[in-house]
Amino acid sequence: MYGYGFDWLSMIVMSFGMVLWIALLVVLVWAVIRWLDRKTTTPSSSVNSSPLSGPTALEILQQRYARGEIDTATYEQMRAQLEVPGVQSEQTLASRR
């Protein structure tokens, strides 16, 4: 009846318990590695110094000109349009929406 032998149910329960402990150990090791990685990683200063709204229209225009995407005449014409006070404030409002 109740001997010292093992039946199938007890073997299954013991196997499940062993798998549970191994899974817990794996999760614990993963969490420690992730925590250490976050602790040792320092944020770069360029991320903190850049504005959250992004580059202005004039900065984008200067970058395009520097990369050679637009010629000098186009650059001068677009820069003049951006530097007009009424147009610049309208573009700033439109970009913030």
Query: Quick one: pLDDT at residue 73?
Result: 94
Q: Block means of pLDDT (10 residues each) for the chain, length 97 residues? A: 71 93 97 91 59 82 92 93 69 55
**What is the CB neighbour count within 10 angstroms for residue 53?**
9
Tokens 């004039």 correspond to what residue?
A: 58
Query: Quick one: pLDDT at residue 83?
Result: 87
| Closest CA relative to residue 88, chosen from 80, 50, 18, 42 | 80
Q: What is the DSSP string of 3-44?
A: -SS--HHHHHHHHHHHHHHHHHHHHHHHHHHHHHHHHHPPPP
Query: Quick one: pLDDT at residue 54?
Result: 83
pTM of the model: 0.38
Q: Is the separation of the CB atoms in 82 and 62 below 8 Å?
A: no
**Domain range summary for the chain, segments of one domain joined by +:** 1-41, 53-96
